[in-house]
Amino acid sequence: MNNDQRLMARALEWARRGTGFTHPNPMVGCVIARGGKIVGEGYHHAYGRDHAEVDALKKAGTRARGATLYVNLEPCAHWGRTPPCMIAVVGAGIRRVVAAMQDPHPNVAGRGFAFFKQHGVKVTREVLEKEARELNRAFMTRVKEHRPYVILKAAISLDGKVATARGESRWITCPQARREGHLLRARVDAIATGVGTVLEDNPALTAHGAGRNPKRIIFDSALRIPLNARVLDKAAPTWILTTARASGSKRRALERKGIPVYLVAKGAKGQVSLTEAARVLAREGVTHMLVEAGGVLNAAFLEAGLVDEVLWFIAPKIIGGQNAKTAVEGNGIAELAKAWSIQGLRVETVGPDLMIRGKVER
């Protein structure tokens, strides 16, 4: 690993500190070095706060003049909640910028690099680009595909059941596995489920003290959600996506409680169109979404091609029962050749359970 790679790896480490707090912005870290010595470091702490470059430049002060700036994403070139970072970088007297990747956002997309060259700042690109893209895969999905990056999570028995035939599901997995699930909730900016889960389990959908609580997204085509459901409390913002089937009076009652209700087109079966819903959520800034739902909605997300990763917790228990629900229901596939293939599997033990995570092959 050469010096540029070493310092970029450090910038990526700083960027990871923003996990769960920067949405809808990307995670960005910055290292400023002069003569082989680090003179300033920083990262984007949260949406609306200083970007990584400004954070690092403030720490470097006058030592930034003539130095090299390492950043895992092209510095921004547009005015938003904060001024463009490219202006701050040039104003500080940075001599060279090393960036892992170009920003895919159309408001940037190479403009920062062009600005640096116009002002005599040398630019080196694509240093640890693969690692940088992986870190901000959710941001890139929202910007390029206009939908959130989706992780589908399920907790199942060894024989694939999510509950007994009588509907008992608490708890299939161990406390350690549930804690891992809560930690993941704190790292995403939204958690989604269907109204069926709300009616059956009345979940809180919070991080249960593991960190910040994500937004709660409820798919409810006819607004069947009870006004006293736990997901409508003040623990975290809740958004509801519905269709024209919904009662106008119920919608107004929810909005009086401060719950935004989004009217979305109907799918083929009269439910919320997930493809349209994904566009609406991305437009509203939802970047990284965890789906914890029943088998029908899980299947619908897979069938719509909206799942990027799966996270399965498997308990060493056998439940049995042909009427016991499974994690993915619907009609299923007709041919094995059309099964969803999961790549890059990571398998860990969590207490007595297994945690399996992988990406859905596209």
Listed in sequence order, the residues at least 6 apart from 91 whose beta carbon sits closer than 8 Å to its beta carbon are: none
Tell me the C-alpha distance between 320 and 262, whole Å.
39
Question: In the 3-class helix/strand/coil scheme, how is 98-145 assigned residue by residue?
Answer: EECCCCCCCCCCCHHHHHHHHCCCEEECCCCHHHHHHHCHHHHHHHHH
* 200 labelled catalytic: no
Angle between helix axes 52-60 and 3-16 (nearest 10 degrees) is 110
Q: Are 154 and 312 in contact (CB under 8 A)?
A: yes
- Phi, psi of 152, rounded to the nearest 5 degrees: -100, 120
Provide the Cα torsion 319, 322, 325, 330; round to 10°.
Answer: 150
Cα 55 to the center of its chain, rounded Å: 24
- Phi, psi of 298, rounded to the nearest 5 degrees: -55, -45
> Which of these is catalytic: 13, 41, 53, 348?
53
Instruction: Report the DSSP pairing between strands 96-99 and 37-43.
Output: unpaired
Q: Are 308 and 278 in contact (CB under 8 A)?
A: no
Tell me the C-alpha distance between 54 and 142, whole Å.
25
Residue among 278, 5, 288, 13 nearest 137 (CA): 288
Tell me the C-alpha distance between 218 and 201, whole Å.
13
Give, in order, the Cα–Cα distances in Å from 163 to each of 156, 285, 321: 8, 34, 10
* Residues catalogued as catalytic: 53
